[in-house]
Amino acid sequence: MLGSTDLSYNVGDMSESLGQFEQIILTAILSLRDKAYGVTIHEKAVQLAAPKSISPGAVYVTLDRLEDKGLISSWLSDPTPERGGRSKRFYRLEALGERALEESAATAKRVWDTVAEIWGHLADEVRRRPKWSPVRPK
Amino acid sequence: MESGPSKVAETIAGYLLPPACREEILGDMRERYRSRFGYFLEALHEVPCVIYSRICRTTDAVVALMEAASMYTAFVIAAKCVDVTLLSAQSGFARLAIPPMVVLAVMSVADAYSDPQRRRPLRPLFAPTLGFAVAYFEQLMYRQWSLPMSVFAWGSGTGLLLVSTLRLIFPPIADRPQAANVPAFWQKLELATLSLNPRSALVPCGILLAVLLYLLVR
């Protein structure tokens, strides 16, 4: 049985190891709520990762990996006729996944704030500088 | 416009996909269907990814390492007892490593393709037996890297017994009892519960002991 200390260590560890693609997939599952299955997750991930393209195969590999890490869970639905009588595998974010995504988003925000601050200063400096013009000395 | 892929295309894709994820992947591919060529391209890219992912999920690195070490030891002992010159020959130890590598690769793929919904009592023995059969054909095909048949036979026999015993003690991940709400990753880290029937373990252990004693006495 995991104690609270162990759990917090694990969550910290998970969020550190979350890659950008894993974050995209977790965000897609979070935004789709109870409609998250292979096809919809792939469509949402393509929207989130634009202009980069994403193959469905990469989505399946990542979903399996996230499930192995315990960040998401899955279950099979009833068969549907439009899929040739086959079931859908739905995915749901687990508490561990929510916390890992939250920590990743917080880290990304801190990074962005720092970058924006530096770039903001740089932009001001560039604005103050006189424009460069290729004039030959006479 | 076609409403879905042809039966033949779906059947082929279904055979290539591991049974554990066949249902949902085939359904998703049908839902995404646009054209025959598109379906073919999607299958071409998706099937290897899914197989790779399934192999990652069903392979326990620690158990695989134990299996590899036991098989290699079996082949080295067989070479020492039957044909010592092989050990001093150029790339002799490398040649002894080829059959265990082939068996390990076949076992990984066989585990990935095992159906978790079907439980068979002899399943732990199926993958290693298939692996040694493939290793035998590999030996026949590549003569320059093959082992003397007596070494291969002794090594395979002992290796099969060792790997089968290991698989009875540590069943493949797909065959382990799945606890509710426990991620597969954590199950990988835990050792399987030792629900070993002493009778089922006694027979392979006895045969193994007899083979080892015979080889040592000789």
CA angle B185, B50, B44 (to 5 degrees): 165
3-state secondary structure of A93: strand
Q: Which residues of A touch B56 (CB under 8 A)?
A: 64-65, 68
Q: Is A73 an 8 Å CB contact of chain B?
A: yes
On whether any CB of chain B is under 8 Å from the CB of A125, the answer is no
Of A37, A70, A80, the CB nearest to B186: A70
Domains of chain A with bracketed CATH: 4-128 (1.10.10.10)
Residue segments in chain A with a per-residue pLDDT below the cut of 70 = 1-17, 123-138
State the pLDDT at residue B183. 55
Interface touch B31/A60, C-beta < 8 Å: no
* pLDDT value for B168: 85
Distance of CA A101 to the CA centre of its chain: 7
| Residue A39 confidence (pLDDT) | 93
User: pLDDT at position A2, please?
Assistant: 41
Integer Cα distance of B27 and A67 in angstroms: 20
Give pLDDT, residue A4: 42
Interchain CB distance below 8 Å, A56 and B57: no
pLDDT computed for residue B191 by the predictor = 42
> What global pTM score does this model have?
0.74
SS3 A113: helix
Q: What is the pLDDT along chain B (218 residues), one digit of tens a residue?
A: 567 888 898 899 999 999 888 889 999 999 988 888 989 999 999 999 999 999 998 888 888 999 999 999 999 999 988 888 888 888 888 889 999 999 999 999 998 998 877 777 777 788 899 999 999 999 888 888 888 889 999 999 999 999 988 888 888 776 665 555 555 555 554 444 444 555 666 666 677 777 777 766 66
Give dist(CA A74, CA B40) in Å, integer: 27
Confirm if B108 and B144 have CB atoms less than 8 A apart.
no
What is the DSSP secondary-structure string of A11-78? HHHHHHH--HHHHHHHHHHHHHGGG-BHHHHHHHHHHHHTTS---HHHHHHHHHHHHHHTSEEEEE--
**Phi, psi torsion values for B167, nearest 5 degrees:** -75, -25
| Contact across the interface for B31 and A56, Cβ inside 8 Å | no
Q: Nearest-CA distance from A40 to chain B in Å?
A: 9
Taking contacts as CB-CB distances below 8 angstroms, the residues of chain B near A21 are: none
